[in-house]
A and B are shown apart, each in its own frame.
Chain A
Amino acid sequence: MERVLMKGNEALAEAAIRAGCKCFFAYPITPQTEVAAYLAKNMKKRDITFLQAESEIAAVNMVLGASSAGVRTMTSSSSPGISLKSEGVSYLAGSDLPAVIVNVQRGGPGLGSIQPSQSDYWQATKALGHGDFQLIVFAPASVQETVDMTLRAFEEADRYRMPVMILTDGFLGQMMEPVSFSDETPVIEEKEWAANGHKNGRKHNIINSLFLQPDELEYSVNERYKRYDIIKEKIHEAEVYKCDDAEIVLAAYGTTARVAKSAVNQARELGIKAGLFRPKTLWPFPAAELKEACKNAKTVLSVEMSQGQMVEDLRLALDCRIPVEFYGRHGGNIPSPDEVLEQIKKISERSL
């Protein structure tokens, strides 16, 4: 396969077209805008619909409409824009509709900054909107993985009839790396539940998230959670690097995992037994993989561009049996490998 050089955001957009995404709705926001720009530029020759909505809220509700009609659809934004979309994401989940939501994270809270950040971990994994629901969350760490996970996201969204998030950040979105695309065309099955035109060929389908009878709503949520149980069994992925004998296991996803990996390599050169655990899915969280990676660990160090949001999931996954420490930079700052190495050294010296 030919390698091309692309920005993460452009590669994501190209992957969405190849995944069969027919309708794309968005509102511009840095550092995500290249996704929309690429799709807008390509819409005529690739036979897709791109519509720049009047707001993020309008865009996500257009996604709800397109998904109801049975087509693959996506919206992308960056942190403040994702907050605006949260109502629509809850409606998508409540209506059992597939959709791909992209968050190219930037600093927060509020308007924050336009520089990269990872401070939407909680929002993505715990509560992107009101009500009992979850999103499958993929966290790529390279431009190639952004592409691969975009294709996956559309497939899993259709398979489980739910919104799926790709959680990336301004760094991965703006960075160019070599990437290659598979020429395979995905097989997209007809959606029998879709509320689309059928010339009176069948009973009409209804897409709805309102259940006024308590038992009906309880039933619909319970049914959804049965699906979540299946997803938890099937989707839990992580990269485990040099963890076999690691006494200090770094845990990081996305951009910071790249930094942490460099720090692990430097630590190994100094004779410190360090390793890296990188979750590729943030929900479901790959707990079994973490436990296995930490079988010889005395300390886990979470490295994030936030105030330490993944720390809680790490502790839960480890049943609080191994201390989880934290090092992070945020506000648009990215921790350097040297800074992370300093933390590894401190932990190592302390345990001597």
Chain B
Amino acid sequence: MLTETIICGFGGQGVLFTGKLLAYAALYQGKELSWMPSYGPEMRGGTCNCSVCLSDEPIGSPLVNTPDVLIAMNEPSFDKFESTVKPGGIIFADSSIIGKKSVRDDVTCFYIPSTELAKENNLTGMANIIILGKVIRECSDRLLGINYDMIVSAFEKIIPPKKAALVEKNVNAFKIGYDYK
């Protein structure tokens, strides 16, 4: 099985890091994967995205044109990628920032006010982790079975020991998204 994901938003929202978390979680499960950032003359406040391919077999083309899963963190990115999602795919949108709903009727959509949830919980800047919590809750099966525990252990592995305090904050944010109804 191959699952292609695009994560997109403003530079500075942690879009690339969210992709890396998925990638590391898959790595530690012995899966095949690729992570590709959009690179270019991009900066804080500009748009930014990354593609993550997860598979049980070696990845052919690591380029994602039609994602199975889209995680959109701002409106320009939502507009750009909404139409590219495969029929039957899933869209996750940060509804605190994206004021519209998808016009597609052949995909499943989840709207999570992750930026607001982050502010309310004193976790500013962690909207990306909150939305990832919802993603893992709703489509773990599509993401090769990557589950709550696997993401938590990925935090523990990739956050360096001298920033250990961040593990707890990330897990808190992740749990808020995971439990959001």
Contact = CB atoms under 8 A, between A and B. Distances in A.
Nearest to A262: B60
B61 A178 contact: no
A336 interface: yes
A258 B61 contact: yes
A5 B62 contact: no
Given A258-B60, A262-B60, A174 B37 contact: yes
Interface residues of A, number: 23
A337 B34 contact: no
Contact of A5 (B30, B35, B59, B60): B35
Given A5-B27, A258-B60, A338-B65, A175 B40 contact: no
A261 B24 contact: no
B65 to A, nearest CB: 5
Contacts of B65: 336, 338
A5 B23 CA distance: 8
Interface in A139-193: 170-171, 174-178
B60 A265 contact: yes
B47 to A, nearest CB: 16
B36 A175 contact: yes
Contact of B60 (A174, A261, A334): A261
A259 B61 contact: yes
A265 B30 CA distance: 24
Given A176-B20, A177-B34, A178-B27, A30 B39 contact: yes
B116 interface: no
B41 interface: yes
Contacts of A70: none
A207 interface: no
Interface residues of B, number: 20
A115 interface: yes
B39 A31 contact: yes
Contacts of B20: 5, 176
Interface in B38-61: 39-41, 59-61
B40 A115 contact: yes
Nearest to B62: A175
Nearest to A259: B61
Interface of B: 20, 23-24, 27, 30, 32-37, 39-41, 59-63, 65
Given A174-B36, A178-B33, 6 more contacts: A5-B23, A5-B35, A30-B39, A176-B20, A176-B34, A258-B60
21 contacts: A3-B27, A5-B23, A5-B27, A5-B35, A114-B39, A170-B39, A171-B36, A175-B34, A175-B35, A176-B23, A176-B34, A176-B36, A177-B34, A177-B35, A177-B59, A178-B27, A258-B59, A262-B60, A337-B60, A337-B63, A338-B65
* Top 6 A-B residue pairs of the complex, sorted by shortest distance between their CB atoms: A262-B60, A176-B35, A262-B61, A259-B61, A175-B36, A261-B60
